[in-house]
Structure 1
């Protein structure tokens, strides 16, 4: 069963999403808290994962990140990774209040940007009893240097500086497309598969998705280092799902995060690219996640 939900964060922003409850559930059950990655909204396949978890006996709290989709928040289309981490923790706090939630058996799942978030949340919040990080961002700084050509880097950094000067004068934040058909054109996620997945998925599943973020969202991306928290998730069990063909949140950095992590841990590798984890490799990504949650949340 799925129902619409909304809850307020500690700073008063209303976040909206879905609550999945396993059919026939009686009493509190293990609950997985979930949000999407960089600029994506919940309709971009998070329903498939939550449905799979519910079929396996686990509830799911799925929410749109602030400033995106059905959730409130200003400025629209701004991504502050640390604010999103705080919102995950507020979602956990709200989930604890629900009669359907077993507060002693809460897991978190994230993918791409939020795959990095769940490493951070898992390290900081011991209410979390199990973590799954799918195709995660491990190092914003190093990942950005893989996505931005070396001869473009100084120009990008000057764009950040000009945006800072403009904001100091009271001007609105500069904007940049999330994806562009030409990988050489300015965009936050400059890979061909990003353009294909976001534009096709936006049309078919998520008309609320918007192809624009604030430029400072990209700057904050370059400052964000989830890998520095990987070892501190322990002793909470963590699974990391790595797409070996990932050229967006590049696979070698995700594998490095796995090596940094202590146990209990498990590595799952997919043969496809970053976005195949949601589609062609869905069974290969969701199946192990279900088993990991069931094993460590007592099902």
Structure 2
């Protein structure tokens, strides 16, 4: 069963869905909190994952990141701005919301993320001990590496100059500079200038997620550049951590994620899924990634059932 939900995140109202598994909730269900990656909204396949989890007895809190989809931006802040640390704090607000429900067991909370939010849940697992299991799918583990991979080296200087100019304009009360998330021509400026990004975002926006907008603030890319979730991987233990990697991922460097996994401390598990970054959401890739996360949460959250 799915219901629409909303909850406060220090002045921003976040909206999403709560999935309740069938069956008796005596003592409350274990619950997984879930949000999407860079600019994506919940309709871009998070419902598919939540349905798999709920069928296994896991409740789910699925929400849009602040300023995206159905969720509000904080007062005085622009929409379409991606601040990774704000998004991590919003995961914490989602956990608090889940724990406030009578049909959730407050002591059995898991965190799932994909791509950008795959990195978020590793930070979350290291700093918030309410989280009892973590699964990150095709995770971004280094914003610096992401920036260097996605922005041509001869454009680094002009990009840094644009960051500085945007900060000055915003300080004067001007509007934030914006840029496309994806573009059909990968030589043109975009936050995610890869052909598979363009295909996935435009197709899912057309078929599933009309609320998705092909723009983010320029500052979103500046904030990406300074974000290093891999530093938190060794700090997650003793919370169980899973990484689902697509080795052919050319958007966030699958091999870098796999190398970062080696720095995590047990209990941990790595799962290799076929294809590239967006293959995780569909076809055989979805079957593998959703089942891996489901089994991880069932193992580590259901085991503590009262």
Q: Which of the five TM-score ranges fits, normalised by the shorter chain?
A: over 0.9
What is the alpha-carbon distance in structure 1 between the residues aligned to residue 155 and residue 258 of structure 2?
Answer: 27
**Cα offsets for 1:222-248 (capped at 9, x unmatched):** 111100101101110000001111011
How far is 1:75 from its partner? 0.8
Question: Which structure 2 segments of 5+ residues have no match?
Answer: none
After TM superposition, the structure 1 = structure 2 runs for residues 1-299 of structure 1, keeping only pairs within 5 Å, are 1-9=1-9, 11-27=10-26, 28-73=28-73, 74-280=77-283, 281-299=285-303
What is the alpha-carbon distance in structure 2 between the residues aligned to residue 177 and residue 154 of structure 1?
Answer: 19
Secondary structure of 1:163's counterpart equals: helix
How far is 1:298 from its partner? 2.4
What is the alpha-carbon distance in structure 2 between the residues aligned to residue 49 and residue 25 of structure 1?
Answer: 22
Q: TM-score, normalised by structure 2?
A: 0.96
Report the number of matched residues.
Answer: 298
Q: TM-score, normalised by structure 1?
A: 0.98
Secondary structure of 1:106's counterpart equals: strand
How far is 1:94 from its partner? 1.1
What is the alpha-carbon distance in structure 1 between the residues aligned to residue 168 and residue 71 of structure 2?
Answer: 29
Secondary structure of 2:41's counterpart equals: coil
Q: Which runs of 4+ in 1 moved over 3 A?
A: none
Task: Provide the alpha-carbon RMSD of the alignment.
Answer: 0.9
Secondary structure of 1:298's counterpart equals: helix
How far is 1:158 from its partner? 1.3
